[in-house]
Structure 1
Amino acid sequence: MSKHVGAGGGLRADALGRFDSVVMAVAGCGPAYTIAVTLPALIAAVGVAGPAVLLYCAIPMVGIALAFRHLGRLDPNAGAAYAWVGRSLHPFLGFLSGWAVVVSTTVFMASSALPAGSATLALLGLDTSGSTLLPTAIGALWFLLVAGVVMFGARISAHAQTLITGAQLVLLVVFAVAAMAKDGNAADFSLSWFGFSHFGSEHTFVGGALIAVFAYWGWDVTSNLGEETRGGRRGSGFGGVIGVLMVFALFTVFTISVNILIGTDAVRRAPGDFLTVLGDAIWPGWGGRLLVLAVLLSTVATLNTSLIQATRTLFAMGRDHT
């Protein structure tokens, strides 16, 4: 693999600032989407010990983000892991790393079309339980819209992400604050939720950790944008570290809110509807629908970052004639 020269090769240097990098990292993790899809699985696996799993998985994740930041300072590259693994270990391992990113993002983009369409129809008050054709078609339209935005370059994508992710974060923060201000119906807050006393034969840390690692996936898109980030070597990877810390705070607050307001048994009984139940417990009437809106915004934002990560990785591999 030949080392690329500068930040050229078709990429626009200085298209993104540090703030844009943070936005991309948060959007890549898809906090609202992850809360809706991953939190029920995490609670089913570890019960009230969800905050402990999120905390102890966040520590190595921050370490990985710091390592990516250091690699990005040494060599800003649109291929990120593909390029760094190939040059430090072996070109073939870099090739596999690149294709692993492309395959995983492609699978996610295909699988998230249905939830995006279902969330859109749910906001309109339409029942989608009997068919998958209409939600899939609407999800495909969302994907085409996102692809059109990405085609205009990183600068336009960053503006769109700021609007979408900003609206999502406002909704989530408002609900998080409201949840912390309400009296608990299911349980009282306990620091033991951050310890290991709740793990045993039924709830294992390893099972929860596998789910939590997936929850943090996506922040690394900032590494693929290193060549397009203002400041180059100095600014590369900064957003990933901040993004991991921000989503950790959101995931933890919502997990604690579930333990306090509705309880883990309610999530196990209806994992698909738990966000609506939690939203109504926080804000009766409109709460559930607003959280569904946050999930829709999160899904669209994550589609954007997934497409960016796949295209930048493929661009770097093509530039190296791989």
Structure 2
Amino acid sequence: MATSTPPTHGRLAPVFHLFDLFPLSVSSVGPVFSVAATGGVMAAYAGWWALPAIALLATPFVVASFVFRLLNRHFPHAGASYHWSARVLGRSFSRYQAWVLILAYFLSIPPIAIPAGSYTLALIDPGHTPSNLALMAVTLGWILFAAIPLLAGARPTAQITKVFMVIEMVSLALIGIVGVARFGATHVPIHFGRPPIGGMLIVAVVAATVLDGWEIDSYAAEESHKPRSEPGISGIIGAFLALVFYAILYPLVFAETPMRLLASPRDADPIALWAQRVLPAGLHWTVLIPILGSTAGGLWLTTYILTRALYAMGRERLVPQAFARTSRRRVPHVATIVVLGLVVVVVAVQTFVSSLSSFFALVLSAAGFFLLAEFLSDTVTAIVFLTRAHRRLGIEDDHHHPVLLGLAIVSALMMAGLLVAFFVYGPSAIGSGIDQVTAVLLGLGIVFVVLTRRRTTAPVVFVPEGADD
């Protein structure tokens, strides 16, 4: 397969060390926000059975972290999974995966941006229902704030992320301590009942939005001092830490908050409900601080992943070449501005156009499906690489991974089964029309492949500027 190298003037700045990548992977998961945003939905779908459903999906996602480490070691690239599939599976598959990747991460950003605005208003004026104009103004403020570190450079992004990660880690510790201390007085009966199979499968797909994010270090490979050795390590750490956080937070919140409160309405914030029961009167609002910090971090870090992928695609003309432009701070400023600008448009439509808000909400609810499809594609790439492509590519040291290969095959089958289950149970669990919306988006990927077939160049291979251990 013909390849090319990126022009030196368009390179990203190699500034990250392992202790920069680690906070990115942890904060991008956003455990506090993830529980706040999805706990109510999961409780409504599956009750206590939501916990084993999360555990069900945790296995393939942990395996995926080792898959990312493997592929990163051989193919470090800002496009990460998009580039890996081009090298291993071919350009046609890669173009389609690029479409899935764009949908997976772009559809994840507005559901983070809007809560950032609502949590801020709830913190400023508790108990007051804000106007749409106020919500839009504050949400826009957070989007503009997210643009600051992203446009300032990779180093400022990492430094600001570290501050928010410390806030989140301290908050997680305090939540755990308070929850355990108050457990005897606030715990509720645990009742699983009959397992709602459909609800559990939908929860497993929804859980893709809370178990992802740690892979950000793969998309930061070209900005790492050691692109072959350090990206992937922090992703593994982030994936395991996410499981530890959820193993504490979800059971604690579920055990100290009546299920009827968590499950109705579906968009209930379980951490806020938990705080009202556990924290002293007048202090429950303080839990909004870690939720907001977690939300804000997830906003710019999810955007970071998408902009780096678009930067890589722009170099190969899969998307307009302008996306590959870098500013004097050596960041893809055009990609960043376009992505955040489109997020503003989507948020504005959801906020002000009532006739379209439900449709956009339905489209955005497909984010979990496309995130899961993205990780399935990465796992398939690893399976093909380990079985035969490594020899074709002249890499002879990867036949010593029989355990990873076996786990990858099992994980791929699990994720494929969950994607099928989404179409079966999605309409009743999420809403009528979700199957059609998802099918149309998948079909548009074929159109994307056809339209970009003649425009794309050969895969650009990233070559580190210095030695890499």
Instruction: Please report the TM-score for the alignment, with normalisation by the length of structure 2.
Output: 0.62
Q: Which residue of 2 aligns with 1:2?
A: 3
The question of 1:49 aligning with 2:45 is answered no
Conserved? CA contact 2:6–2:315, under 8 Å = no
- Number of aligned residues: 315
| Among 248, 261, 268, the residue aligned to 1:272 | 268
Amino acid at match of 1:66: F
Conserved? CA contact 2:146–2:300, under 8 Å = yes
Q: Which residue of 1 aligns with 2:248?
A: 253
| Among 220, 223, 229, the residue aligned to 1:234 | 229
Q: Which residue of 2 aligns with 1:76?
A: 76
Q: Which residue of 2 aligns with 1:320?
A: 316
Conserved? CA contact 2:146–2:296, under 8 Å = yes
The CA deviation at 1:125 is 1.7
Secondary structure of 2:268's aligned partner: helix
Amino acid at match of 1:65: S
Amino acid at match of 1:319: R
Q: Distance in 2 between matches of 1:81 and 1:58?
A: 20
Q: 1:48 to 1:71 in 2, by over 3 A?
A: same
Q: Which residue of 2 aligns with 1:142?
A: 142
Any unmatched runs of 5+ in structure 1? none
Conserved? CA contact 1:74–1:233, under 8 Å = yes
Q: Distance in 2 between matches of 1:218 and 1:95?
A: 22
Conserved? CA contact 1:47–1:203, under 8 Å = no
The CA deviation at 1:229 is 1.9
Amino acid at match of 2:122: A
In terms of mean alpha carbon deviation, does 254-263 or 2-11 score higher?
A: 2-11
Conserved? CA contact 1:77–1:83, under 8 Å = yes
Conserved? CA contact 1:114–1:132, under 8 Å = no
Q: 1:104 to 1:203 in 2, by over 3 A?
A: closer
1:255-287 CA distances to partner (integer Å, 9 max, x unpaired)?
111232113222123552432220133322355
The question of 1:308 aligning with 2:309 is answered no
Identity rate, percent = 24
Amino acid at match of 2:50: G
**Superposition RMSD on alpha carbons, in Å?**
2.4
The question of 1:206 aligning with 2:201 is answered yes
Secondary structure of 1:108's aligned partner: coil
Conserved? CA contact 1:113–1:136, under 8 Å = no
Instruction: Please report the TM-score for the alignment, with normalisation by the length of structure 1.
Output: 0.89
The CA deviation at 1:66 is 0.6
Q: Which residue of 2 aligns with 1:29?
A: 29
Q: Which residue of 2 aligns with 1:151?
A: 151
Q: Distance in 2 between matches of 1:282 and 1:126?
A: 18
The question of 1:101 aligning with 2:101 is answered yes
Conserved? CA contact 1:113–1:143, under 8 Å = yes
The CA deviation at 1:307 is 1.7
Q: Distance in 1 between matches of 2:103 and 2:209?
A: 15
Q: Distance in 2 between matches of 1:53 and 1:17?
A: 35
Q: Which residue of 1 aligns with 2:120?
A: 120
Conserved? CA contact 2:253–2:270, under 8 Å = no
Amino acid at match of 1:21: L
Q: 1:4 to 1:180 in 2, by over 3 A?
A: farther
The CA deviation at 1:320 is 2.2
Q: 1:241 to 1:311 in 2, by over 3 A?
A: same
The CA deviation at 1:61 is 0.6
Q: Distance in 1 between matches of 2:156 and 2:43?
A: 37
More relative contact order in 1 or in 2 (CA 8 Å, sep 6+)?
Answer: 1
Q: 1:134 to 1:12 in 2, by over 3 A?
A: same
Q: Distance in 2 between matches of 1:202 and 1:318?
A: 42
The CA deviation at 1:165 is 1.8
Q: Which residue of 2 aligns with 1:290?
A: 286
In terms of mean alpha carbon deviation, does 159-168 or 204-213 score higher?
A: 204-213
Q: Which residue of 2 aligns with 1:219?
A: 214
Q: Which residue of 2 aligns with 1:11?
A: 12
The question of 1:62 aligning with 2:51 is answered no
